[in-house]
């Protein structure tokens, strides 16, 4: 509580101790009444002593009064020290009241870096304890970290606060300053009329800047910077395969995106690739400062099944981002659905029968099982004269959900039914038949279908021709040609629609129309399209994203619970069936990066890999001017090594505290008393020689 008692400008935090000033009567009583017993000594004649006693009385009285004064001042200043006097400062209205202090300890991965005093997180925890210890025993505290845990939304005593600080560990989460201050205010605003203080201990990475800075706050925000050392840092931002499907034993090429986040070059940083715990590739890479570089790792010897991969860098001492996880599936076979008219297309059957990896299924267009469409990465529709409304609707949904559809029109195609299917997908569709011989003039070598088909760009290639073809009405802006005729019409075209792709042909698979079905490009084109149609899902996910994750078909029920497990922790996600596919919704954010096994009924359904955000890898920091923009108003920035803990709760709240001065003065007067007693001696009486007495 605030105390109104004062001496001039001086106030007392604990004025009840002033009652102890009554102890000043003790030395007074001792000095006023002598309790020493005297021994009487009889002399025959004392007339000669009277003069000596008179000569020493004045000196004795001075000594006793000085000792009395020293004792009185010693006791007085000792009592004042317990009463804790202070000279009020500008915030003196808060003095003596219970206060609420919110302390945020940045436990993001960047706080695992070091300086000459150790890890930044260890220093932040120690400073948090010191700040809390500078406040009173009746004050209450909130501890806050990037995890924003519910248990941190309550006030703690000093001992509880210190226990909570001890449990803080590094976390992949990171928050902006706006989010942190808003979270602190949620609790502090509930303490109406109680003085509130905010402390934020962090290295203040640039990722803490918000798109919209914080609004000015009524509470004082103290930004305490833990200054890191300067270190190089390289990390993996992403990976991807050059092939969409993975076959057992085949050579794989993995592209690794390396990012040097430092202001100095990274020279020959060791890198290793492991698949299922077995090392598959090693190398060392140099990346210029603040640049991104793609490198390709080649490996082989994979068996069928789910593969868990990890890329490891060695760029000490910044190690929190040295691992990058990914997962993929190596399949024994690739199913392809061939939908035909009355009879199966001999050219398509021949193409997909040449390689045992492909598993073609042929079905008449009127007998398609719509519920099984999503189990086929590629559906090829050929020779169908009239596409029914029901089939068109199902094929559009199939493409939107990530399927790949290839269409070869019938020699007598109903243009209206093809338009009803293809136009809503944004793909080119046939309109009229043109009977004019023409030849292909170009192939799109930049498209993935052809990009890896040739070792070098062919000169004067032998391209297919057409005797008759359909004029194709152009698709949307997401369409591109694969083969283009001299007339300007695209012989083969691909369009991205939703999460899938649509391939359309201007010619039927009929040699009367063109030589495409017997041309040397036909087989590699069809096999390449089939291989590109694989949709195993992303190689990795982020630990910070709560977005839905599409995965392999699952059926979740009370008796068949789906689990995500990495061996140390198990998460039970929510499984929903959405647009014919299974979608996972995690109940909360993952705590650790790594590979997680998706298990249903004790069987492995898939492997999912999660990585932390790469924003923590960029070790650039906000300067004081940037912090002033982020936290306008009543805020201050202090370096942790310059933070004066002793002044946190004194001058800032109560003004100038005087209790230490009182203790010093009490000790001085105690020492003065000792010196007076020891060295201030009254001269001994000097008796005259009797022989000289007349």
Torsion over CA: 120, 590, 604, 237 (sign)? negative
pLDDT digits (tens, 9 = 90+) for 436-457: 999 999 999 888 888 777 666 6
Same domain, 82 and 120: no
Strand 6-7 relative to strand 10-12, pairing: antiparallel
Query: What 3-state DSSP class applies to 660?
Result: helix
167, containing H or E segment: none
In sequence order, the 6+-apart residues with CB closer than 8 A to the CB of 617 are: 233, 235, 259, 261, 321
Task: State phi, psi for 138 to the nearest 5 degrees.
Answer: -90, -5
- Residue range 55-77: mean pLDDT, rounded: 79
CATH for 432: 3.40.50.880
| pLDDT at res. 212 | 74
Q: Is the pLDDT of residue 95 over 60?
A: no
Residue 9's pLDDT band (cuts 50, 70, 90): low
Asked if the structure places residue 1 within a domain, the reply is no
| pLDDT at res. 682 | 62
Same domain, 476 and 568: no
| pLDDT at res. 256 | 96
Neighbouring C-beta atoms of residue 645, cutoff 10 Å: 12
- Residue range 75-82: mean pLDDT, rounded: 88
Query: What 3-state DSSP class applies to 663?
Result: helix
Q: What does the alpha-carbon distance between residue 101 and residue 649 come to, in Å, rounded to a whole number?
A: 11
pLDDT digits (tens, 9 = 90+) for 271-328: 999 999 999 999 999 999 999 999 999 999 899 999 999 999 998 888 889 999 999 9
Residue 693's pLDDT band (cuts 50, 70, 90): very low
Q: What does the alpha-carbon distance between residue 669 and residue 664 come to, in Å, rounded to a whole number?
A: 9
| pLDDT at res. 4 | 43
Residue where one domain finishes, among candidates 302, 331, 360:
331
Question: Strand runs (DSSP E) across 346-392, as ranges?
Answer: 358-364, 378-382
Same domain, 130 and 10: no
CATH for 318: 2.60.40.10
Check: CB of residue 101 under 8 Å from CB of residue 220: no
Q: Burial, 433: exposed, middle or buried (Cβ in 10 Å; 0-12, 13-18, 19+)? A: middle
Same domain, 63 and 207: no
Same domain, 392 and 519: yes
pLDDT digits (tens, 9 = 90+) for 547-559: 678 787 777 666 6
| pLDDT at res. 651 | 44
| pLDDT at res. 217 | 66
Same domain, 202 and 339: no
CA distances from 256 to 253, 273, 425, 457, 630 (A): 10, 10, 33, 25, 35
- Structure tokens given for 611: 């990585």
- Structure tokens given for 445: 């070598």
| pLDDT at res. 694 | 45
| pLDDT at res. 455 | 63
| pLDDT at res. 25 | 85
Domains contained in the chain, number: 5
Check: CB of residue 619 under 8 Å from CB of residue 233: yes
Structure-token match 């020891």, residue found = 678
| pLDDT at res. 2 | 41
- Residue range 663-688: mean pLDDT, rounded: 78
Q: What does the alpha-carbon distance between residue 628 and residue 634 come to, in Å, rounded to a whole number?
A: 10
pLDDT digits (tens, 9 = 90+) for 195-213: 788 999 999 999 898 877 6
Structure-token match 């860098």, residue found = 313
| pLDDT at res. 294 | 94
Could you list the residue range(s) of the whole structural domain that residue 113 is in? 97-230+619-653
| pLDDT at res. 281 | 94
Check: CB of residue 494 under 8 Å from CB of residue 396: no
Residue 495's pLDDT band (cuts 50, 70, 90): very high
Residue where one domain finishes, among candidates 331, 359, 382:
331
Among the listed residues 201, 292, 307, 174, the one whose alpha carbon sits nearest the alpha carbon of residue 249: 307
Query: What 3-state DSSP class applies to 41?
Result: coil
Q: Is the pLDDT of residue 3 over 50?
A: no
Q: How distant is the alpha carbon of residue 49 from its chain centre?
A: 94
Residue where one domain finishes, among candidates 586, 610, 634:
610
Least confident of 91-100, 126-135, 294-303, 310-319: 91-100
| pLDDT at res. 382 | 95
| pLDDT at res. 554 | 77
Q: Which residue has the higher pLDDT, 139 or 477?
A: 139
75, containing H or E segment: helix 49-83
**Average pLDDT along the chain:** 85
Q: What does the alpha-carbon distance between residue 420 and residue 426 come to, in Å, rounded to a whole number?
A: 11
Helical axes 49-83 vs 25-32, angle rounded to 10°: 170
Question: Strand runs (DSSP E) across 365-511, as ranges?
Answer: 378-382, 404-408, 429-434, 438-443, 465-466, 469-473, 479-485, 490-497, 500-505
Q: What does the alpha-carbon distance between residue 539 and residue 246 come to, in Å, rounded to a whole number?
A: 13
Phi-psi region of 19 (alpha: psi -120 to 50; beta: other; left: phi over 0): alpha
Q: How distant is the alpha carbon of residue 123 from its chain centre?
A: 20
Q: What does the alpha-carbon distance between residue 387 and residue 392 come to, in Å, rounded to a whole number?
A: 6
CA distances from 514 to 76, 489, 510, 528 (A): 114, 14, 7, 21
201, containing H or E segment: strand 196-202
Same domain, 418 and 493: yes
Same domain, 341 and 384: yes
- Residue range 406-424: mean pLDDT, rounded: 94
pLDDT digits (tens, 9 = 90+) for 165-198: 999 999 888 899 999 998 988 888 787 777 788 9
| pLDDT at res. 279 | 95
Check: CB of residue 331 under 8 Å from CB of residue 243: no
Among the listed residues 256, 288, 292, the one whose alpha carbon sits nearest the alpha carbon of residue 271: 256
Q: Is the pLDDT of residue 362 over 50?
A: yes
Check: CB of residue 653 under 8 Å from CB of residue 89: yes
Q: Which residue has the higher pLDDT, 507 or 25?
A: 507
Q: Is the pLDDT of residue 6 over 90?
A: no
CATH for 569: 2.60.40
In sequence order, the 6+-apart residues with CB closer than 8 A to the CB of 398 are: 373, 374, 379, 405, 500, 580
Q: Is the pLDDT of residue 683 over 80?
A: no
- Residue range 504-525: mean pLDDT, rounded: 94
Q: Which of 29-43, 353-367, 545-559 has the highest mean pLDDT?
A: 353-367
Asked if the structure places residue 661 within a domain, the reply is yes
CATH for 116: 3.40.50.410
Task: State phi, psi for 628 to the nearest 5 degrees.
Answer: -65, -35
Asked if the structure places residue 587 within a domain, the reply is yes
| pLDDT at res. 273 | 96
Asked if the structure places residue 563 within a domain, the reply is yes
| pLDDT at res. 213 | 67
| pLDDT at res. 189 | 79
- Residue range 140-149: mean pLDDT, rounded: 92
Same domain, 341 and 475: yes
Q: Burial, 249: exposed, middle or buried (Cβ in 10 Å; 0-12, 13-18, 19+)? A: exposed
* Cα angle 184, 188, 192; round to 5: 165
In sequence order, the 6+-apart residues with CB closer than 8 A to the CB of 560 are: 600, 601
pLDDT digits (tens, 9 = 90+) for 607-652: 999 998 888 899 899 998 888 888 877 788 889 888 877 667 654 4
pLDDT digits (tens, 9 = 90+) for 417-440: 999 999 999 999 998 999 999 999
Same domain, 365 and 264: no
- pTM, whole model, 2 decimals? 0.72
Structure-token match 């794989």, residue found = 252
Residue 580's pLDDT band (cuts 50, 70, 90): low
Q: What does the alpha-carbon distance between residue 491 and residue 505 come to, in Å, rounded to a whole number?
A: 6
Same domain, 491 and 433: yes
DSSP 518-568: GSTTHHHHHHHHHHHT-----S-EETT----EEES-----SSS-EEEE-SS
In sequence order, the 6+-apart residues with CB closer than 8 A to the CB of 682 are: 56, 59, 60, 63
Share of the chain above pLDDT 70, in %: 86
Same domain, 390 and 520: yes
Neighbouring C-beta atoms of residue 43, cutoff 10 Å: 8
pLDDT digits (tens, 9 = 90+) for 35-45: 555 566 665 65
Asked if the structure places residue 31 within a domain, the reply is yes
Residue 56's pLDDT band (cuts 50, 70, 90): low
Asked if the structure places residue 219 within a domain, the reply is yes
Share of the chain above pLDDT 90, in %: 43
- Residue range 149-163: mean pLDDT, rounded: 90
């Amino acid at each position: 509580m605030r105390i109104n008692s004062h001496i001039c400008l001086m106030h007392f935090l604990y004025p009840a101790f002033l009652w102890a000033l009554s102890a000043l009567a003790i030395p007074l009583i001792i000095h006023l009444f002598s309790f020493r017993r005297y021994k009487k000594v009889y002399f025959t004649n004392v007339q000669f002593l009277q003069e000596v006693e008179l000569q020493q009385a004045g000196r004795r009285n001075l000594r006793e009064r000085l000792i009395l004064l020293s004792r009185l001042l010693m006791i007085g200043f000792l009592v004042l020290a317990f009463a804790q006097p202070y000279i009020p400062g500008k915030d003196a209205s808060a003095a003596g009241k219970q206060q609420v202090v919110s302390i945020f300890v940045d436990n993001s991965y960047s706080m695992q870096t070091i300086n000459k005093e150790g890890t930044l997180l260890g220093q932040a925890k120690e400073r948090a304890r010191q700040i809390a210890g500078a406040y009173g025993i009746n004050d209450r505290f909130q501890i806050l970290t990037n995890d924003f845990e519910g248990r941190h939304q309550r006030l703690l005593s000093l001992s509880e606060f210190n226990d909570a600080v001890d449990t803080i560990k590094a976390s992949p989460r990171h928050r902006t300053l706006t989010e942190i201050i808003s979270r602190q205010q949620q609790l502090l605003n509930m303490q109406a009329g109680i003085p509130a203080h905010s402390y934020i201990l962090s290295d203040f990475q640039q990722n803490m800047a918000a798109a919209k800075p914080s609004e000015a706050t009524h509470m004082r925000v103290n930004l305490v910077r833990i200054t890191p050392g300067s270190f190089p840092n390289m990390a993996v931002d992403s990976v991807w395969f050059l092939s969409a499907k993975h076959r057992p034993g085949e050579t794989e090429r993995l592209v690794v995106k390396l990012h040097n986040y430092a202001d100095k070059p990274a020279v020959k940083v060791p890198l290793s690739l492991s698949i299922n715990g077995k090392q598959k590739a090693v190398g060392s890479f140099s990346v210029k400062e603040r640049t991104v570089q793609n490198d390709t790792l080649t490996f082989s010897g994979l068996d069928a099944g789910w593969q868990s991969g990890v890329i490891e860098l060695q760029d000490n001492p910044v190690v929190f981002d040295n691992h990058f996880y990914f997962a993929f599936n190596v399949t024994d076979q690739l199913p392809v659905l061939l939908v035909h008219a009355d009879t199966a297309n001999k050219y398509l059957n021949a193409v997909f029968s040449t390689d045992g990896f492909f598993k073609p299924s042929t079905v008449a267009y009127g007998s398609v099982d719509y519920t099984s469409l999503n189990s086929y990465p590629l559906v090829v529709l050929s020779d169908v004269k009239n596409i029914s409304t029901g089939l068109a609707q199902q094929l559009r949904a199939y493409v939107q959900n990530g399927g790949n559809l290839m269409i070869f029109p019938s020699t007598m195609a109903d243009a209206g039914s093809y338009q009803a299917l293809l136009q809503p997908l944004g793909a080119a569709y046939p309109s009229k038949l043109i009977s004019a011989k023409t030849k292909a003039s170009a192939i799109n070598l930049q498209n993935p279908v052809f990009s890896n088909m040739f070792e070098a760009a062919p000169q004067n290639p032998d391209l297919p021709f057409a005797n008759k073809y359909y004029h194709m009405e152009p698709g949307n802006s997401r369409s591109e040609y694969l083969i283009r005729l001299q007339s300007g019409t695209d012989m083969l075209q691909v369009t991205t629609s939703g999460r899938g792709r649509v391939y359309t042909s201007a010619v039927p698979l009929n040699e009367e129309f063109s030589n495409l079905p017997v041309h040397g490009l036909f087989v590699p084109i069809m096999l390449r399209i089939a291989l590109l149609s694989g949709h195993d899902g992303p190689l990795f996910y982020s630990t910070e994203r709560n977005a839905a994750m599409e995965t392999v078909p699952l059926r979740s029920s009370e008796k068949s619970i789906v689990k995500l497990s990495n061996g140390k922790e198990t998460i039970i996600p929510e499984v929903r069936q959405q647009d014919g596919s299974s979608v996972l919704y995690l109940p909360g954010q993952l705590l650790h990066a790594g590979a997680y096994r998706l298990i249903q009924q004790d069987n492995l359904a898939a492997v999912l890999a999660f990585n932390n955000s790469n924003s923590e890898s960029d070790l650039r920091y906000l300067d004081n001017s940037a912090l002033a923009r982020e936290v306008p108003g009543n805020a201050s920035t202090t370096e942790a090594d310059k933070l004066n803990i002793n002044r946190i709760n004194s001058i800032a709240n109560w003004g100038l505290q005087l209790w230490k001065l009182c203790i010093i003065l009490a000790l001085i007067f105690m020492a003065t008393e000792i010196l007076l007693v020891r060295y201030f001696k009254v001269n001994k009486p000097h008796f005259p020689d009797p022989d000289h007495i007349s």
